[in-house]
């Protein structure tokens, strides 16, 4: 109902704008455009994704996979920039030997930056190598609020494996290793080199992934395809869109942190002066939050995402997504109300994260500060975004300091063969499911691999529900063991087809 009201409001605004500016022919042209849009929306037929069902699960395989993932979860691998000890990560990596003996017997093993590299050498490589990756470090997990202890690895009666890292991302790492384990068991010999890598500092953008990339560069390795974490398989990936979709990240935004500081002479809180540091910071934050200085744009990737989701959308969204030629400008304004995640795919974002003021409850601060986390979009340069923020800060009498910034990653071509391979394998393993390119609003280790790979695709082929998606970096993280079975088959099929040049 809300979506319909939003669309009706957009239509009304569009009509009023044109009526005020033009008369006669212009009104006729507007009505004609609206009629075309409605007809186009009515003619859209749902795709198979709307009624697709999960693959039939082999219960015996699910049990084995669930137990392996449980064993991996039980080894606590919380990473922090403030903890230099890497012994627990070495212990985790050592534990994989018993779980995947054929992989370790067949592969060369390396540990750049205390991470893990497994290298399966082809006898006569015929093309560029493929690399599968998933990190094994996790964020902290306090016990409060969990139905099962966060490092218990409990498997409940429904077959769900509980614990930190099940979704992010020991689950996909288990599937990658198990896929290679089963291929080797059948005597598979790849026709090109295969790498599996896993870092231990992904959660805080630490040095492990860059050490692995440097190791690859030193060996003059140029990858033909890389598959990392990122999107997964979701139902209703955007509110109002029905169906099952493999969401593949092809574009990763840049990263930045800035600090805003307001200063004064301080004073006693009993006689506060106007426009002290905290109110100035509050005014700045409200100004940025209510009036974003950044430019929203429907990029080709976002346009393709909306186009692929449109057929299974509600009529209101179908009307808008299917007619971006007409509603694009208004959609950029309305999207934050429809889906903040989708809105973040269209522009740079600025989120305020930490704050510091006076140490005394009755003391006005001489300096107060807040930090903001930025995710830079490709169509607006980092420097321009930072300059816009600096101007806004100056208007409120606030200083701005850039703590860190990283450029957006190269955009992956969703019309190229590696993405096409994921579409083909999805059709084979998950019949009927849609495959949708989208913009990664978070960060991955894949961002460091741009110098050694053109096709860095962010996708873990595991189906999760809304609760499991919401559990990432939160409480009650869990994963159905049944979801691991088709994911293992997915990785097997990708490896076999890629190494045979069957793209």
Can you spell out the DSSP letters for 281-334? HHHHHHHHHHS--SPP---HHHHHHHHHHGGGB-HHHHHHHTTHHHHHHHHHHH
pLDDT confidence of residue 341 = 84
Average pLDDT (461-467) is 97
**Half-sphere exposure in the Cβ direction for 502 (13 Å, CA):** 11
DSSP string, 378-414: TTS-HHHHHHHHHHHHHHTT-EEEEEEEEPPPPPP-T
* Residue 45 DSSP label: P
Q: Which residues contact residue 443 at a Cβ distance below 8 angstroms, ignoring those fewer than 6 apart?
A: 205, 252, 255
pLDDT at 197 over 70: yes
pLDDT at 83 over 70: yes
Question: Which structure tokens are listed for 311?
Answer: 């057929």
pLDDT confidence of residue 270 = 87
Average pLDDT (373-381) is 96
pLDDT digit string (tens) for 235-248? 999 888 999 999 99
10-19, 99-108, 137-146, 162-171: segment of lowest average pLDDT: 10-19
Question: Which structure tokens are listed for 171?
Answer: 């689950």
pLDDT confidence of residue 20 = 55
Dihedral over Cα of 76, 77, 82, 86: its sign: positive
pLDDT digit string (tens) for 382-430? 999 999 999 999 999 999 999 999 999 999 999 999 999 999 999 999 9
Question: Which structure tokens are listed for 377?
Answer: 């979009």
At 27, the pLDDT band (50, 70, 90 cuts) reads low
pLDDT confidence of residue 339 = 78
At 263, the pLDDT band (50, 70, 90 cuts) reads very high
- Separation of alpha carbons 487 and 180, rounded Å: 12
Q: Which residues pair with 363 in a beta bridge?
A: 268
pLDDT at 261 over 90: yes
Say if residue 373 is exposed, middle or buried (CB neighbours under 10 Å; 0-12, 13-18, 19+).
middle
Q: What percent of the chain has pLDDT over 90?
A: 82
Question: Which structure tokens are listed for 53?
Answer: 């069902």
pLDDT confidence of residue 14 = 60
From the list 435, 459, 379, 452, the residue with the least C-alpha distance to 411 is: 379
From the list 377, 413, 211, 364, the residue with the least C-alpha distance to 292 is: 377
pLDDT at 290 over 70: yes
pLDDT at 491 over 70: yes
The number of beta carbons lying within 10 Å of the beta carbon of residue 46 is 13
pLDDT at 249 over 90: yes
- Separation of alpha carbons 396 and 2, rounded Å: 36
At 334, the pLDDT band (50, 70, 90 cuts) reads confident
At 170, the pLDDT band (50, 70, 90 cuts) reads very high
From the list 187, 395, 164, 392, the residue with the least C-alpha distance to 275 is: 395
At 340, the pLDDT band (50, 70, 90 cuts) reads confident
1-15, 177-191, 288-302, 347-361: segment of lowest average pLDDT: 1-15
The number of beta carbons lying within 10 Å of the beta carbon of residue 452 is 21
- Separation of alpha carbons 67 and 61, rounded Å: 10
At 23, the pLDDT band (50, 70, 90 cuts) reads low
CA 156 to chain centre: 28
Average pLDDT (148-173) is 97
Phi, psi at 502, each rounded to 5°: -100, 70
Q: Which pTM does this prediction carry?
A: 0.90
- Separation of alpha carbons 35 and 316, rounded Å: 14
Q: What percent of the chain has pLDDT over 70?
A: 94
Cα distances from 179 to residues 311, 410, 487, in angstroms, run 34, 29, 9
48-52, 79-83, 212-216: segment of lowest average pLDDT: 79-83
pLDDT at 103 over 90: yes
Cα distances from 183 to residues 63, 97, 186, 373, 431, in angstroms, run 19, 17, 5, 43, 22
Cα distances from 57 to residues 65, 198, 311, 482, in angstroms, run 12, 27, 28, 6
At 16, the pLDDT band (50, 70, 90 cuts) reads low
Say if residue 293 is exposed, middle or buried (CB neighbours under 10 Å; 0-12, 13-18, 19+).
middle
pLDDT confidence of residue 11 = 61
Site of tokens 């998950």: 430
pLDDT confidence of residue 182 = 98
At 66, the pLDDT band (50, 70, 90 cuts) reads very high
The number of beta carbons lying within 10 Å of the beta carbon of residue 51 is 12
């Amino acid at each position: 109902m809300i979506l319909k009201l939003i669309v009706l409001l957009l239509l009304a605004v569009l009509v009023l704008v044109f009526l005020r500016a033009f008369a006669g022919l212009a009104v006729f042209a507007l009505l004609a455009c609206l009629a075309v849009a409605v007809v186009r929306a009515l003619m859209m037929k749902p795709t198979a994704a709307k009624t697709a069902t999960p693959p039939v699960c082999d219960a015996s395989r699910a049990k084995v996979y669930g137990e392996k993932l449980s064993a991996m979860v039980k080894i606590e691998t919380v990473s922090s920039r403030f903890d230099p000890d890497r012994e627990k990560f070495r212990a985790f990596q050592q534990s994989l030997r018993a779980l995947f003996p054929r992989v370790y017997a067949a592969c060369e093993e390396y540990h750049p930056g205390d991470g893990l590299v497994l290298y399966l050498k082809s006898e006569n490589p015929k093309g560029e190598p493929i690399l599968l990756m998933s990190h094994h470090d996790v964020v902290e997990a306090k016990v409060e609020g969990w139905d099962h202890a966060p490092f218990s690895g409990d498997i409940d009666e429904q077959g769900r494996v509980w614990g930190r890292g099940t979704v992010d991302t020991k689950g996909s790492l288990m599937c990658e290793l198990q896929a290679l384990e089963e291929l080797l068991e059948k005597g598979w010999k790849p026709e090109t080199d295969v790498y599996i890598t896993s870092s231990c500092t992904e959660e805080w953008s630490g040095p492990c992934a860059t050490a692995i990339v440097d190791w690859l560069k030193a060996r003059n390795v140029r990858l033909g395809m890389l598959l990392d974490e990122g999107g997964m398989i979701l139902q209703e990936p955007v509110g109002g869109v029905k169906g099952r979709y493999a969401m593949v990240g092809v574009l990763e935004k840049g990263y930045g942190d800035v600090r805003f500081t307001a200063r004064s002479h301080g004073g006693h809180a009993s006689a506060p002066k106007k426009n002290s540091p905290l109110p100035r910071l509050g005014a700045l934050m409200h100004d940025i939050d209510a009036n974003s200085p950044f430019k929203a744009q429907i990029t080709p990737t976002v346009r393709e995402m909306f186009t692929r989701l449109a057929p299974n959308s509600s009529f209101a969204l179908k009307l808008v997504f299917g007619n971006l030629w007409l509603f694009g400008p208004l959609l950029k304004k309305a999207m934050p109300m429809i889906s903040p995640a989708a809105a973040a795919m269209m522009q740079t974002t600025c989120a305020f994260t930490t704050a510091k003021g006076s140490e005394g409850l009755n003391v006005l601060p001489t300096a107060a500060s807040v930090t903001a986390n930025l995710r830079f979009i490709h169509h607006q340069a980092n420097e321009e975004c930072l300059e816009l923020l600096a101007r806004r800060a100056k208007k409120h009498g606030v200083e701005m300091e850039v703590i860190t910034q990283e450029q957006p990653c190269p955009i992956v071509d969703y019309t190229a063969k590696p993405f096409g391979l994921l579409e083909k394998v999805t059709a084979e393993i998950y019949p009927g499911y849609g495959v949708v390119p989208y913009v990664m609003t978070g960060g991955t280790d894949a961002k460091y691999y741009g110098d050694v790979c053109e096709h860095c695709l962010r996708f873990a082929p595991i189906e999760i529900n809304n609760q499991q998606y919401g559990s990432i970096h939160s409480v009650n993280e869990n994963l159905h063991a049944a979801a691991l079975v088709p994911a293992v088959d997915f990785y097997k099929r990708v490896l076999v087809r890629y190494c045979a040049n069957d793209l």
